[in-house]
Structure formats: structure tokens, C-alpha cells
Amino acid sequence: MNVYDRLKELHVALPVATPPVAAFVPTVQAGNLCFVSGHIAKRDGKSWAGQLGVNMSTEEGQRAARTIAIDLLGTLHHELGDLERVQRIVKLFCLVNSGPAFTEQHLVANGASELLQEVFGRAGSHARSAVGVAQLPLGACVEIELVVEIR
């Protein structure tokens, strides 16, 4: 089954890629590696603001992370022309806007990691770090960046 069939099966509609809000580009490819800029969580087209452990639960954070993963796929589809060119999701870095006592960043990140594995199968399993940060651009609850191997 190809990637687009799997997206359909998962009822995932790719968003139209939106240009970055600042002086950078969505992806840069160097050799076979594609570096994808940090994407913040969005809701209704705007920053999904919030802080885990303060005004958001782990479950909400997971949903936000899943949403970012879908946006990252939208960006990759737009930049690569075809998601079948993804050889491997290499590395995911998940930054969670965290109150002082919130220690479930790894569970929040699972919202994105699991979607990538559902979509790409074995090629979607990746190295990862998840951390709790003091704040994020536009007050977003989660930000995720990727390194992807391209064929």
C-alpha cells in the first residue's frame, strides 16, 4: 500500500503547506538528507497556544503533536512532490512548552511518532529527543522538527 492510500485509510487530509512566518524556508536538502524546519502546533490556522502541565493535558498535547506530524507531511508532500520519495524518517525533535512540573514530554511526542509509523511503517520509525522548553514562538504548545532521508 502506498503512502497516500495509508493516509486515506487513516482519514488524514494533508493541509496546504503555508509559508514560514519568518526569514527561513520550510526544508533544505543536503545530499540525501532533508532538514525540515520546526513546525509549531496550529488550530484553525493559528498558533495552538498552551503549556503542558499548566493549561493542557498530556492527551491534548498528543493531539497537538499528531496535528504537527500531519502538517510536516503536508510540507514534505509540497516540497518533495511525492511522499513516496521518503526513504526513512531519520530523526524527530519534539519541543514541548512545559510548566515546571510536567515530565511527560515523551508521551506528548508519541502523538507525532505514532502517526509517522502508521503512515510509513518501518520507514517511519525514527530516532528522537523530546524536551520541555520554557516557551515557543507565538506561545505554541508543541514544536517539532524532522530530519528525513530522501531517495
What residues line the site for a second copy (CB under 8 A)? 20-28, 30-33, 35-38, 53, 87-93, 95, 98-107, 109-110, 113-114, 117, 125-139, 143, 145, 147, 149
Nearer to a second copy, 83 or 111 (CB): 111
Nearer to a second copy, 43 or 91 (CB): 91
Q: Report the nearest approach of a second copy to the CB of residue 94 (Å).
A: 10
SS3 18: coil
CA distance 66 to 108: 9
Q: Report the nearest approach of a second copy to the CB of residue 67 (Å).
A: 16
User: Which stretch of DSSP H or E encloses residue 60?
Assistant: helix 58-80
Q: Report the nearest approach of a second copy to the CB of residue 103 (Å).
A: 4
CA distance 94 to 128: 8
Q: Report the nearest approach of a second copy to the CB of residue 1 (Å).
A: 20
Cell numbers found for residue 120: 510509513
Q: Are strands 127-133 and 86-97 parallel, antiparallel or unpaired?
A: parallel
